[in-house]
């Protein structure tokens, strides 16, 4: 498996609280992605990064922010968690060159109560 670690793996939080999820890679890949997975919706792209301090919005970015201060870490922050953000969050990495694919982390199950 590619060197991707997501933390925490499980979290329960209250509505209105801030939450930060971390994705850490040891592969030195340029591209990093955050997705949420919900039944019937597949994986929807939240934000992605194409380099240190270079990020862009995905399909469902409202209510989320990201930061990438170094190559290996990509943080996803819910500034004020809502119940609609209860989901499984996956991080992915990719070199973005050649014929390489994206590799996925194990996921973080977030429950907002």
Residue from 14, 40, 53, 83 in contact with other proteins (CB under 8 A): 40
Reduced to 3 states (helix: H, G, I; strand: E, B; else coil), residue 98 is coil
Look at the alpha carbons of 42, 64, 56, 7 in this order and tell me if their dihedral is positive or negative: negative
CA 83 to chain CA mean position, Å = 18
Q: State yes or no: residue 99 binds other proteins (CB under 8 A).
A: yes
Q: Is residue 62 a contact point for other proteins (CB under 8 A)?
A: no
Does 56 participate in binding other proteins (rule CB under 8 A)?
yes
Candidate list 8, 16, 18, 96; residue touching other proteins; CB under 8 A = 96
The token pair at 51 is 């380099």
Reference 43, options 112, 105, 113, 111; nearest CA is: 105
User: By C-beta, is 35 or 74 nearer to other proteins?
Assistant: 35
Please report, as ranges, the residues that interact with other proteins according to CB under 8 A: 31, 33, 35, 40-45, 48, 50, 54, 56, 58-59, 90, 92, 94, 96, 98-99, 101-102, 104-107
């Amino acid at each position: 498996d590619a060197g991707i670690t997501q933390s925490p793996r499980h979290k329960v939080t209250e509505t209105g609280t801030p939450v930060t999820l971390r994705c850490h890679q040891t592969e030195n890949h340029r591209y990093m992605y955050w997705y949420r997975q919900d039944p019937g919706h597949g994986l929807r792209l939240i934000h992605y990064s194409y380099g240190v301090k270079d990020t862009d919005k995905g399909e469902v970015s409202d209510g989320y922010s990201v930061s990438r201060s170094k190559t290996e870490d990509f943080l996803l922050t819910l500034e004020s968690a809502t119940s609609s953000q209860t989901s499984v969050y996956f991080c992915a990495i990719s070199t973005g060159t050649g014929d390489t694919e994206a590799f996925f982390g194990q996921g973080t199950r977030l429950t907002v109560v």
